[in-house]
Structure 1
């Protein structure tokens, strides 16, 4: 018997070895560390009721299949068209989730085709920009389940990472990766 394992240590050593045997092949401490630091997001689209929970970024960078799935979820639900969304939006959403808690973002609007944007400008009663960043895949309208939208607005403003529009009457927040600016009521 080795000097590291005395006879009374054998049952504990066997349990340890049994535990190792249950780990998946290719397991490493680095893989466990990386998995613990993956950036994850959860979504529910309010118009289609589609749901998605996934890791979108790890220590190696953005995870392309995850970005593709999120691009599809954030498509223009009226036309079915999708675009490549700016991945920095997901970084902003992750930062907001970390700052405010909560798990699932409710998506009100992601990508908008030019036709949808034009229709919304005509029928929406204002608030839709002629050259909306939604058409470039650089904007998203959201709520965070379990978090007051005014609190979410305050956290977004504190990030200073792009545009923040607060719409308390409709209870949502516009986030974009354009220049830092804000609109809407400053206090709830």
Structure 2
């Protein structure tokens, strides 16, 4: 169960919406058209669906998270679980703008709605983030207040799409931060301020 100090964090087996998650889902009803950037471009789309596969656990999620301008709480809960910190099993309420950005990115790349995006990293717990920072090496760029810890970032690749093409598409959308990691085989996308590295 979530602690009283961090009600957004839930354990991996817990698939039931938390009170905060349910209220957040209900508060988001009808808010899609008001979302900025790539989300606004999708406002006329009847359904928003996101399919992801975690490369570390091989678990897949294919969730309908918005329909006719309304968020679908069950779909949001599935994605929160699917984008959890695979190292600790903790999850958080993922930024809806990030989910919309991933849908928009997939559509920009002209890949089908059911084609899975490979997830290298989604939500990152404070414990995981601190461990990656302490380890250094390829993780020397891990920020102490990473967008991953806020539920606003993913590190991804799309099978059959070159990293260069994925990187260019993410930059063109201008939905937030974009990091290019060709040596590690992924592109970072987040809904923080627009920047790139």
| TM superposition score normalised by structure 2 | 0.72
The corresponding residue for 1:165 is 179
The corresponding residue for 1:109 is 121
Deviation for aligned residue 1:131? 1.0
Deviation for aligned residue 1:147? 0.8
The corresponding residue for 1:80 is 89
Distance 1:101 1:43 in 2: 16
Structure 2 SS opposite 1:90: helix
In the alignment, does 2:104 pair up with 1:90? no
Q: Which of the residues 152, 155, 160 maps onto 2:166?
A: 152
Give CA-to-partner distance per residue, 1:49-98, whole Å, 9 cap, x none.
10111221111322111011110111111111110010111111111111
Larger-gyration structure (1/2): 1
Distance 2:130 2:73 in 1: 31
The corresponding residue for 2:50 is 41
Distance 1:142 1:177 in 2: 14
Are the equivalent residues in 2 in contact too, given 1:101–1:147 (CA < 8 A)? no
Structure 1 SS opposite 2:172: helix
Q: Which of the residues 123, 148, 166 maps onto 2:135?
A: 123
Give CA-to-partner distance per residue, 1:119-138, whole Å, 9 cap, x none.
00111411211110111111
| TM superposition score normalised by structure 1 | 0.76
RMSD: 1.2
Q: Which runs of 5+ in 1 are unaligned?
A: 1-35, 184-188
The structure richer in helix per residue is 1
Superposition pairs of residues 41-60 of structure 1, within 5 angstroms:
41-60=50-69
Moved over 2 A (4+): none
Q: Which runs of 5+ in 2 are unaligned?
A: 1-44
Query: How many pairs align?
Result: 148
